[in-house]
Every structure is written in C-alpha cells, then in structure tokens.
Chains A and B, each alone.
Chain A
C-alpha cells in the first residue's frame, strides 16, 4: 500500500504485519550513514586535516582542541534542553559572561557586608556563579511561561540585560587577578580551567560529567521524557497531565546553569574576568545543537549529538587555524557546514518516513 491514510497524511495506511522490516539494503545503509553523519563528518575532518598538517593528529593538539570544545559543548548541552521543548535560549553567552564577572568579583574584591569584606572559597564561588546562571534562567522561564513572551524575544532581551549586568558589576572594568591568597582562603580557582587530571584538562572532565548527566536525564527519567513531549506536541502534553510550564522553567534553569558553568571555566582559563567574555557564544552553542541533529521545532534531538556537533565545530575551527586559513574564511566554512547539516537532517527524515511507509 503506497497511498496514505485519509486522516493521517504522510503515514502508512493499514497496520503493517509484524516482523522484521524488509528495506532495500542501499536505502538502509544511506539511512545509517545519515543518522551517524555528525560522527562521519568528524572523522572526515580529522582525516582531512591530519593529511594537510602533521601537527593536527598529535596528542597535545587533540587535548587542546578538546578543551576548546568543552566550553562550547557545556553551553550547547544546556541549550539542547531548551530546544528540545521547542524553545530557544539566546542569552547563554551573556549568562556565561555574567557568571564569570560575579565569580571574578567575589574572588578579587570579595563581598561587602556590614562590618567588612567576606571572601568565599573557590568552590563556594563556583557554586554561587552557577546559582546566578540558574536564577537568570529561571527569570527567562518565568517571562516565557507567565507572560507568554516568545522564547526568542524573552532570551534576546536577557542577552542584553545579562550582558549589561556583567558590565555594571565592574563598571565595565576587568577583575585582573583571580588567583586568591592563602590569607583569604580563596585560592584554587584556576583548577577548573587550567589544571589537568590524569593528563586530561579538568574542563574536559567536567564536560564528560555534564554530558553523562544530561544523557541520563534526557533518556532515563520521566522528566526527560516530558521534555520531549512538550517539544513534540505541547497540547497533547498538557492533556496528558504534564505541567508544561514547570518543564519549560526547568529547562531554562538548566540552560542558565550550564551557561554559568561554561563562563566560569572560561574565566578560570583566562585568569581574569572580563565583562565581554563569551560574547556571541550562544550562536556556537545553537549551531552545535543543530549540527548534532536537534530539531529547532522541538521534540527531536540527543545530547550525544550535540556533543558531537560541538566537536565538529571545534575541530573544524582549530583545523582551519592550524592550516592557516584566514578567520574570514573560517566563518564562511562554519556557516556552510551548519546549513549543510540541516539539509542532511531533512534528507534523513524523508528517507526514514519513506522506509516506514514501505514497510506498511
């Protein structure tokens, strides 16, 4: 039966017989290739650049590139949660900047309280930074759910507000020294952005932990299932008893917290807090999610895909730098790759539905 059903266009008609599907082998192989395309592209990138430059595929370069990837990957994982619900978060770059400034201020000049200045340990400062990001995310979520502002607009507004707050924090200045002193008991902030454990940068370990947690949450918890439901069909989710507004607020909180964490890693790596840190990073994060197969319409995507997307963007950028391509061309190539990724995504969807139809 090749025609479609009356009230369910683009789907198979009668119920197909159970049992293994009989796809033609080439179509199946093409689908497999399309599904794993981010990985395929990544492998091709590595092969391509290592053929051109002998420095590309060295241990030290791989570690360096992965560290670059880590910050964008963490941002992108947070944004993926939002995109899965059908929303978007444009404020993550600014939140990263704000969290970095809050942490920088606490480390450099402490917190003024009645009767003097208090300094917190580096670990507490990091937690405060993440809490600030989560709070900003909560504001995003409340504006979107309570006042019914489109996520694009609400987070665009927050992009400006959070960046402005970051600048106000220091009046536009820089907190130049974040190393702390033993007397203040606030040393060690460089650990997350500079140090390594077992030869691998701490930032990469953090990325691995964040990614693993995000994979568990999205695939193994009722909360994760509800995120997909909200993005796939909000009306159906409401009637299924899902508290859609809570889910939405939660994903913006997650996105804000991830952004803050990324901002802290970046600030730690730089050793100083600048109010302009992570400007436009939201675009790289969204690009990574899209490249990894997350549908901007919501309901479809994976965390692992987003991480791969971040690797493709990072390995591509660094490769282009290594072989000496100008930054202008880097931009052109990156943009073309993103659009190409979406085109292949659609090819995958088409092939998938045509194969489904053939089985029915």
Chain B
C-alpha cells in the first residue's frame, strides 16, 4: 500500500470459503476504509458476494478472521452483524410487497407500546425521519411497498438498514434495476452517508457508474482478490484487465466454421414486461455463434423468451430458415427449429421430481413410442446416447436429476434442447454457476453445434466468455441493442461502455 492509506474499519483477514469441493474464496484479505465508498468488482462467481455474505454474518468463513476497528469479531448471524453496525442491502430486494413502508422497515423488530402492541405511530414517525434522511420526505410511510417503483423500493431497503446505527453499509449491485435518475438519487444518498462517516462497500458491474462515486476499488477474480487501488489511480481499461486477467482463448474453443445462409432473422421486435424490449433486430447465420452481452435487467432474457414463444411480442417479425413464424407458441417455435436453454435451470429447466432420463427426454418423449406406448428401450438408448455425447457424469439414468452437479444439470438441459434437433440454439447464460471445466465443455459443444451448419445465439454477462466464443457480439442495454462487434473488433472496454450506454445504435443487418 502506498503512503498514508486511510483508516481501515472493517477488515477480512485470510478469509476462505469452501462449498463442498468448490473454493469460492481463497484466503482473501480485504480492508474497507472508514468513511469511504469501497467498490468491489469482478465477474459472476468471482467471490465478491460470498465475501459480503461472510462480512454480514449470513455465511461463516471456512478459515480466516474478521476485524472490526482492529478487534477480532465473530459474526455468527445477520443479527449479530447488525448489532455491530454492519448492514447489507441485497441484490434481490427482501421487502414484503404487501406491507407498508413503515411496516417493512420495522419487520421483525417492531417498536412496542407496552409489551404486546405495535406502536404504529412511533414506527411511522421513525420511518419518516429515515425517508427524510434519504431525501424522500414526500413518501408516505403508509404507502404499500409493492406500489412503489423499483428505485424507491431500493431506498426503502436502504432505509431499513439505516434505522439501526449503521457504521458499515454493504450494497450488492443496488443499481442493476434502477433508472439513471434513480441511480443519481442513490449516489446522493451514498455521498451523504459518506459525509456522516458511514463506510460503504459497494458491489457493482457498471464501470461508468461506480467511477463517479467510488473512492477505492477492489477487483476479484476466481475467488482471489487480485487488485486493490485508489480509484483516482485507475482507469476503466486497468479495471477490466484486472477483472479478466487471463487469456480467454486458452479456456474456450472458438468456433471457426464458415457462415452460410441466415437461419434466424429478427426484425423490430418489441416485448412488453418489467424490462421491455424495444425494436430489436438481429440475425444468426448458419455456422455462426452470436453472443449477446449485457448487464442483468438489460432485457436479454425477455428477448430469448420471446423468440422461444414463452413470452408474447407486441410488434416485430421472427423468421426461421426463411419462413416467417407468426404463431408465437413454444410448440410452433420448437417445430420451426428453435430450442432454448434457459438462464435459471432450477426454475425454468429441470423438473426436480424426475430422473435424469426423463429430464433429458422431456421435450421429445412423444417420438419414442410404439403403438402409442412409450418404449422403455428406445428411451434408455436415446438418453444414454446423449449422456455419452455430452459427457454428462451421472450415477445412472434413473438417478434423481437433483443429485447432479450444476455443470451436469446444465448439460441435461442442453441435451434436452439438442434432442429437439434445432437449427438455432438459444442459450441464456449457459455457463452460469458451473465450474471452469464444464464451462469449457459447454463452449466446445456450442462450437461443434455451429460447425454442423447450425446457429447459436447465446447470452452472457462474462466479458471473457463472450469475447472468446462469439463470432459476433451484440450488446444490449435497457431493452435495446446498443452496439455490434465482430470477433476482430470487440474489446472488453468497448463492451463495457456499450452495455452501460443509453444511446441506441442500429444493428447493422
């Protein structure tokens, strides 16, 4: 550390965390400085959130110690951390949408009148004070939280943390769902908190945003803390280099097949919803792997769900292999030759009550009948063939699918999609939450699929992955395509800039 570093308040010393065989954190030593905004960056799975869970008492470290004000402390529970003045605001809001602002702020620690009764008036008063501190004194503490826009909900969540004497406030990607105006309000609040000597730890993906507010930046990669520097001594390029760190081409197989006819042609597609998609046009050619890069909430998932027919478009056309697809149902799109590997395999992919075999065959089981009845032999053969093809490691075809590791579960969902014999494979964050080896295998499978003359459209929020795997990269931000790069022109910096951009660049088609 250079001369005269600011005073450290919360310190993690040699913290490790193992989940089973996976090392999420490798002896990380991190210091959050008093009265500063300490920014944490890193790709998904780099270990930032794990460290924050440990510092807020939600998880226990496998090794190492935590120091608060130079004194070793044990944070056995979130309540424990709260009592020591450490508050956390999670990426997913943990509010009760059916309760009022005041009720939400005091949920679980209601102010009492006498021994039994809730002192609603005192709660409202205190809630109002906190809202005022957040510059939101126009908000009625009785307002139902579910009726508020997402940005104000975020502020209610912060208000809840501020009710207690908070010395350290951890914010895990609080801006991912906010509009730019809401982000401004949030940053004003953060600046105020800093004035009040509150230590802020701020996790973010948005380089342009956190550079405005951060004092110190710490970069995580693969469970290691790889860099820690005063913000003023860094630039965007430096941060991205620290985040990516490795030569991505060493990990991923690049598709190198010749591109042919247009297989998927999307024109002016608009999709309503919480994150609306506006006027998206794109093409995927035979033999081509197209990546869609963007942050959470950019509308990427909405886009592929609409392509797959599980979400209705309001305008726009989808053409597969030259045939316009007017019927927007999953069955029609599947028949046309599209298949989707969804982002959240637990929620949208796997049927947890079914075996590995039944999960693999789910979409195509009707083809394996003889005289209307399922043919056990054909089922067994088809499923085991795919298990071999994709090198899925399973205890047996009839094992519960929940017994598999994340990577193997993902391959099960991929196997199901491939069995429908698609011409264009849509993959939404295909490598999320799986280990490096499985990532490389899935990348290889995607390249192999393209080499057979099919098309791949995949979504990713990992810079290294998109750059290494895609022949062409589209960037989405706020429901629009904001930039397009070829494998030759794409750079990390350009992607990061375009993903945070508000301007709309027409996709050249």
Contact = CB atoms under 8 A, between A and B. Distances in A.
B358 A14 contact: no
B348 A356 contact: no
B20 interface: yes
Query: Is chain B's binding surface mostly helix, strand, loop or mixed?
Result: mixed
Interface string A221-254: 1100110110111011111111100000000000
A21 B395 contact: yes
A16 B340 contact: no
B183 interface: no
Contacts of B363: 240-242
Contacts of B20: 1, 3-6, 13-14
B189 interface: no
Interface residues of B, number: 49
A263 interface: no
A294 to B, nearest CB: 12
- Range for the number of chain A residues in contact with chain B: 35 or more
A47 B173 CA distance: 64
Contact of A16 (B352, B362, B373, B395): B395
Contacts of A3: 18-21
Contacts of A21: 395
Contacts of A233: 347-348, 350-353
A115 interface: no
Contacts of B349: 236, 239
B330 A15 contact: no
A216 B373 contact: yes
Contacts of A7: 346, 406, 433-434
B275 interface: no
Query: Is chain A's binding surface mostly helix, strand, loop or mixed?
Result: loop
Contact of A235 (B18, B331, B348, B395): B348
B402 A5 contact: no
B340 A14 contact: no
B404 A11 contact: yes
Given A228-B354, A233-B351, A236-B351, A11 B402 contact: yes
B405 A228 contact: no
Interface stretch (B265-273, B277-285, B364-372): B364-372
A240 B350 contact: no
Nearest to B373: A220
Contacts of A241: 330-331, 334, 363, 420
B353 A228 contact: yes
B186 to A, nearest CB: 29
Contacts of B351: 228-229, 232-233, 236-237, 299
B394 interface: yes
A221 B373 contact: yes
B393 interface: yes
A174 interface: no
Contacts of B373: 216, 220-221
A282 to B, nearest CB: 24
Interface string B392-405: 01111001101111
Given A10-B402, A15-B393, A16-B395, 16 more contacts: A5-B20, A12-B404, A12-B405, A13-B21, A14-B393, A14-B405, A15-B395, A15-B405, A15-B408, A16-B393, A220-B374, A229-B354, A232-B353, A233-B351, A299-B353, A359-B395
Interface of A: 1, 3-8, 10-16, 18, 21, 216, 220-222, 225-226, 228-229, 231-233, 235-243, 295, 298-300, 353, 356-357, 359-360
